[in-house]
Structure 1
Amino acid sequence: MWPLAALLLLAPSSGHAAALEKPTLSLRPPWTTIFKGERVTLRCDGYHPLVVELRPISTLWYLGHLLLPSHGRSIEVQTPGVYRCQTRGAPVSDPVHLSVSNDWLILQAPYAAVFEGEPLVLRCRGWYDQAVHRLHYYRDGRALRPSGSAANYTVPQARAADSGRYQCSGTMRLPLESAPMFSAPVAVTVQELFAAPELSAGAGAGGPVLRCETRLHPRRRAVRLQFAFYKHRRLVRRFDWAPEYRLPAADAGELEAHWCEAATASRSVRKRSAGPRLPGRGPPSDPAATAQGPKAEPPAPGNQPLSFRKPLPPTSAPSVTSAPDAASAGPRAPAGRAPDAAPAACAPKTPPNPATGALKPEVDLLLREIRLLKALLSRVVLGLSGPQASPEPPTAPGTPQAPGTPQVPRAEAPETRAGS
């Protein structure tokens, strides 16, 4: 049994444990995928107190949920799985997933998280370092490098868009050149270095003060950022370490026109904010939209502006809409037009007369009366223009007439009706 003093030293207070940061787990060589039979070295860097004990324990190692027997700062492993370490009084470290492959070709990715602005290096490796020819890299199924001889694929300054599932392909001479072989896909995620900054406005002794605030990733708290301030597209303060900017008195009434930008010292990562947060206002506006000027939005249906312009007449011919007939289910031709008439595009254009269909019966009756009157007048004119015959005594009824003698009808007096 251990001495009581040793047990007390192994169980630190909760406040001291909370003050310590996670230890850092590193991998040498720095790849998460190895071939079967190879070994890698894991090292745990963190707080290691100097304690004199009968059985000093400075580091704990875990493979999954299994506690390993080793207690040194570094161990050699060749078993696949998820490794973690813990130093006395500190939380457990972030995991490292080690993969062991028996393929001819593997894609090796870095064990540590890659952040924005940092280089991303991938390595396509043949079985026990055999040379790989006709090398190609892919991200999410799309080719990144058509061909090349370099074994590594490098992104000098990684971005969030570089995240995805990577894969490589190539050929090897075994002893003849083989067919193209593909590695297993490896998921790569580019971590966000810091969030997009937020611009807030507050009151100061000499006038309004703008403050550009952002949050660094917990693993990159040591990174220092610089801040710049803009009004529309004009730079009003260059990049500086101070996140505050005091507005001049002339710009105090234009707070909403300002925005800020946060960047690393090398400018490899730059992010800008929206408009400032003002008390009692809505969400901040986008600086890109502010820089380009306000966009004209269509008014609501109830807020349409009044227009005093006369509407232009329609250029297309008016459409004819026929009312459905209860007696027939098919479409009916418009009134005044035969069903087999020529198309409207070929027919001569006539001004539309909406009363033509309604007056057609009266027009036909009038035309018939005109034709009858014309025939009667022509007969009268024909009778008046012929030779006048001498008056003859009236012929008794039944007396025969000579052939060829025209029989002129006797004019009868108009009949007098009662009441005329």
Structure 2
Amino acid sequence: MKLTVQVRLLPTPGQAAALEATLRACNEAATWVSGVAFEKGVKRNFALREHTYVQVKERWNLGAQAAQHVIKKTCDAYATLKANLRAGNLCRPGSKRYREATEKPIAFRPQGAQPYDDRMLSWQMAECTVSVWTLSGRMKDVAFTAAPERLATLALYRKGESDLLYRDGMWFLNATCEVPEALPNTDPHDFLGVDLGVVNIATPSDGEIMAGHALNRGRLRERTLRAKLQRKNTPSSKRRSKKRRRKESRRAKDINHKIAKHVVAEAERTGRGIALEDLTGIRERVRLRKPQRATHSSWSFAQLGQFIAYKARRAGVPVVYVDPAYTSRTCAECGHIDKANRVSQAWFACRSCGFVDHADRNGSRNIRARAWELWRSGAQSTAPVPPPRQRGGTGRERSTTASGARCASPALYAG
């Protein structure tokens, strides 16, 4: 399976200036190539090379490999845009957002990521340095650092391209690694149901409730501070706002990684599979009052589901997505369905048999039962091999098993 391992570069001021000039030139060239592709209607790699390859090399002084990657990056961006349009991710045809995406060529940020292959970038793992191509020539001895486990993964399994990117004043390399998977467990004796929520991030069917109070308080604090800084609108407030960029998302990502690791480890230890709800399209289906919209929109259930899926594949644990309809209203003991069963956000009390339990734990037990029923009827693991990576965005492919279980291909991250 493919994983992306991120390492931080530690360039000297001279090396950083050369890297910045290279990124700026590559993205400027990609924006020009995008305009040609949009004007001529040619958005396939080899066909677009005939119109742009020579000009890109001569005008921006790029090497042969860099010029090809610039053209390929542009084609991948248009392929991602096409997939998003087909999936309805950019609203309906004719809407303002749809028109903005389709009526003008794609533009690349001056410091957008640039792909490098092994002809343009070489790794010296023992010295923790890389040799990287720039407009000023081959630049050697650029130091990098990462956590020990990431360095070990990089040394053993690195294969394919790496992306050079600049973010928040720091330089990074995202390296692709081909990591072997464990043998899949084709005969789990049960499933571990996981109910995903906003108040409680994840609730296993037989484990602890992983509350999200700290995360939600942090999100509220960051949202309040952002609004305060935006109202102030002074140079110092803008600097502070820029410094705090992505702090909330980094915290949420770290928590999701820890939860996913715990869930997968428990399922692997007990020889069970993992059952998740298929929450596709929930933001479009649910209507909320204005005070609840920001909290609901910042709910990162999709990211947590992706982390669980790829960690499960790496451990050989099967994952099944089930229909979430009425899991919060159904009694896990007698199967009685009633809206009145859900007494409050936290508690469930069956009106038929009198069974009382925490509402999220009751829901996770229903998810477990549905996954077990699907598996016994012939469903397979719904965490398949991910599709080829597309630059300029992430794509998600979906399929359906014979028994109706939904499949989602996760984007992969090392963690």
Q: Provide TM-score, normalisation by structure 2.
A: 0.17
The TM-score normalised by the length of structure 1 is 0.17
- Higher RCO (CA 8 Å, separation ≥ 6 residues): 2
| Structure with max Cα Rg | 1
